[in-house]
Chains A and B, each alone.
Chain A
Amino acid sequence: MNIGHFMTPDVSRVAGTRRETRDTWTLRLEPPRNAAAWSYRPGQFNMLYAFGIGEVPISISGQVAGDGTLLHTVRAVGRVSAALTRLRKGESVGVRGPFGTPWPMDLAVGRDVIVAAGGLGLAPVRPVVRTLLEQRGKFGRVVLLFGARSPAEIVFRREVERWGRRRDAEVLVTVDHASPDWAGHVGVVTTLVKKAAFDPGNTVAMLCGPEVMMRFMVAALRSSAVPDDAMFLSMERNMKCAIGQCGHCQFGADFVCRDGPVLRYDRVRDRLSVREL
């Protein structure tokens, strides 16, 4: 009996790497040999396998238009992620996916869009920002609120600066701890909400970052009258299978891998306030 199934990775070649910060790298991956092309929707993730070491969920942080390679931005926080950040051009990685629910791009059409990200939380929403700016006419005001621990921790820095020069988007960046050369905002990302211009009754907000950051961001947006059903969060949990069978990623009744990671706030509202759920 052949049990080559959803737990068996395809093999993908690393087409290139880029160092984003001290401990964070972006891997550019070629489509696996037996895959015609890679398609994904912003917000989804792949399971990446480092040979002999292990497998972890990594969100897709973009796609290169020319060659269809997929971008995954990885911070070295554990054994597997550290091994992934050591991969270099020409080496191979195991891939399963893409998995999970996408950001509500259709719902955002015709509305103001707030993208709020903390730290590496910018990676899963970078495809959103790129889409918003590429198809700028389809959306109302575009607001990016981004917080990093320090200027050195800002991922995709040059791209964020490019976004910041656009006149048709409001890009507000803050850091918790400034360096001498930092001339921007200092403070937590929630303080940016009242600096941004948007119509709360006609807004879609997409939040990605540490859970505590998302909780406070939700509170700030609520106090600006953004309704609960217009806010979307990307949740993170331990995952082994990515299809709702290993049980690890449960968050209440939801399997974060399958029912999430992107979940509408009103669905998880009461669970977010329960510690250790």
Chain B
Amino acid sequence: MTILDTPPSPTPARLLDTNGVGRLLDALREGGYEVIGPTVRDRAIVYDTIGNVADLPAGWTDRQDAGQYRLERRDDHALFGYAVGPHSWKRYLQPPATTLWRARRTDDSFEVETVADEAPSRFAFVGVRACELHAMRIQDRVLDGDQEPDPVYHARRNDAFIVAVNCAQAGGTCFCVSMETGPGADGGFDICLTELVEPDRHVFVAVSGSVRGQEMLDVTEPATAGPDDVRKAEAVVERTAASMGRSLDTRGIHDLLLSNPEHPRWDDVAARCLTCANCTMVCPTCFCTSVDDLTDVSGQVAERVRRWDSCFTMEHSYLHGGSVRASARSRYRQWLTHKLATWLDQFGTSGCVGCGRCITWCPVGIDLTEEVRAIRDTQPTGTRSGGSDGRT
């Protein structure tokens, strides 16, 4: 939690063209950052190491719906003219697999030695969306709190340089407006860009959110943005906000879900859910991990690897004798009630940022906004108004 608490700088907005974005990428790399950004691979827009502007998904967009993701050509050359893909920044901040330590047998005992994190010294994330900035703030509360911050997350997060992009179009499964996490970035970035694609020009309105952001922006020799440019940038965000693909009524959602643990809708969704864990893998806030304790073939060297885990697996709740959550019904209920209800008790925030990934990447198109709506609309009489303590 460092730059996130830095209020946006009052310095005037700047104007970059596509070459200016290229100079920004160069400056970041020359500044010692490993630049990670959007690029097209496997017919999706994913996050990976970026060399130059040509690696960005110019002229591509995505069409998303429940269980559907399709890349499509745009009729312009927008660099950031898509919503979000299957990757989130958590794959860099909380890597899918991390070797934590190694142990070696000695004559009559063993010794444990720590393993250095293999991350590059510093990441620069380019193209971070407002919902993703909020997802990082949420993961900060989980993994970088006051008590025992995770050193892997902490180092990667603290050093990361963030270039945010305000969303110029909403995806078909987006509902950040409902979650109050977008579509405009409201802090937590070093630089924030708004892309303006016009018939006669293609520019980016840039503001800095930190001193280092300002310095990095200056290196790109930007022009000064006029009041008209700033107004157009604001209009982009307003237009996006008005075209969300989904919505979620969050009123009383904590009590609504916790007071309905036996709602028949859980059986209904369980009949469709494959418990494949896709939703938790693409979710930018899902933080569950497990560990694998392994040995080499000689049995002399052991190591512990921490890896992403999911509450949709049977192993997640395994106790001697069996899994606590043996049914699909109970595992979906755990995921949804944690994400939207008990997360509030634990971390003072919802676990959902409305990015829509869990809807898009669900192989059977389960839509959490629809599941919540179904529960809200068909509550047993007497509990519809909520107002209980939420634990009933």
List chain A positions with a Cβ less than 8 A from chain B. Answer: 1-11, 13, 49, 51-55, 77-78, 81, 90-92, 94, 236-238, 240-241, 243, 245-248, 250, 252-253, 255, 270-271, 274-277
- The answer to whether B100 touches A8, judged by C-beta atoms less than 8 angstroms apart, is yes
Which residue of the partner chain, among B147, B258, B299, B317, contacts A248 with CB atoms under 8 Å? Answer: B317
In the complex, the chain B residue whose C-beta lies closest to that of A239 is B319
Q: Besides A52-B293, A53-B293, 11 other CB < 8 A contacts?
A: A3-B100, A3-B116, A4-B114, A7-B101, A7-B291, A13-B109, A52-B294, A81-B320, A238-B317, A243-B147, A245-B148
List chain B positions with a Cβ less than 8 A from chain A. Answer: 98, 100-101, 103, 105, 108-112, 114-117, 119, 142-143, 147-148, 150-152, 155, 258, 261-262, 287-291, 293-295, 299, 302, 304, 306, 309, 311, 315-321, 324-327, 329-330, 334, 338, 342, 345-346, 391-392
In whole angstroms, what is the CA distance A5 to B290 when docked? 16
- The answer to whether B391 touches A247, judged by C-beta atoms less than 8 angstroms apart, is no
- The answer to whether B291 touches A240, judged by C-beta atoms less than 8 angstroms apart, is yes
- The answer to whether A2 touches B324, judged by C-beta atoms less than 8 angstroms apart, is no
In whole angstroms, what is the CA distance A1 to B321 when docked? 40
Given known A5-B151, A11-B109, contact A270–B290 (CB-CB < 8 A): no
Cross-chain pairs A/B with CB under 8 angstroms, 6 sampled: A52-B302, A81-B320, A91-B109, A92-B108, A245-B150, A252-B391
Point out the residues of chain B lying under 8 angstroms from A247, CB to CB.
Answer: 287-289, 309, 311, 316
Report the minimum CB–CB distance from A29 to chain B (whole Å).
Answer: 13
Which residue of the partner chain, among A8, A9, A250, contacts B334 with CB atoms under 8 Å? Answer: A250
Main secondary structure of the interface of B (DSSP, over half): mixed
In whole angstroms, what is the CA distance A241 to B149 when docked? 12
Report the minimum CB–CB distance from B58 to chain A (whole Å).
Answer: 35
In whole angstroms, what is the CA distance A246 to B345 when docked? 17
Point out the residues of chain A lying under 8 angstroms from B392, CB to CB.
Answer: 270
- The answer to whether B299 touches A52, judged by C-beta atoms less than 8 angstroms apart, is yes
In whole angstroms, what is the CA distance A55 to B109 when docked? 17
Point out the residues of chain B lying under 8 angstroms from A51, CB to CB.
Answer: 103, 105, 110, 295, 302
Which residue of the partner chain, among A3, A94, A275, contacts B114 with CB atoms under 8 Å? Answer: A3
- The answer to whether A277 touches B330, judged by C-beta atoms less than 8 angstroms apart, is yes
- The answer to whether B318 touches A238, judged by C-beta atoms less than 8 angstroms apart, is yes
In whole angstroms, what is the CA distance A122 to B327 when docked? 31
- The answer to whether A55 touches B291, judged by C-beta atoms less than 8 angstroms apart, is yes
- The answer to whether B150 touches A8, judged by C-beta atoms less than 8 angstroms apart, is no
Report the minimum CB–CB distance from A237 to chain B (whole Å).
Answer: 7
- The answer to whether B342 touches A250, judged by C-beta atoms less than 8 angstroms apart, is yes
In whole angstroms, what is the CA distance A119 to B316 when docked? 25
Report the minimum CB–CB distance from B391 to chain A (whole Å).
Answer: 5
- The answer to whether A245 touches B143, judged by C-beta atoms less than 8 angstroms apart, is yes
- The answer to whether B150 touches A276, judged by C-beta atoms less than 8 angstroms apart, is no
In the complex, the chain A residue whose C-beta lies closest to that of B303 is A52
Point out the residues of chain A lying under 8 angstroms from B117, CB to CB.
Answer: 1, 3
Point out the residues of chain A lying under 8 angstroms from B316, CB to CB.
Answer: 238, 247-248
In whole angstroms, what is the CA distance A248 to B392 when docked? 23
- The answer to whether A8 touches B114, judged by C-beta atoms less than 8 angstroms apart, is yes
* Most interface-central of B108, B142, B317, B324 (chain A CB within 10 A): B324
In the complex, the chain B residue whose C-beta lies closest to that of A266 is B391
Which residue of the partner chain, among B152, B293, B325, contacts A276 with CB atoms under 8 Å? Answer: B325
In the complex, the chain A residue whose C-beta lies closest to that of B301 is A52
- The answer to whether B112 touches A253, judged by C-beta atoms less than 8 angstroms apart, is no
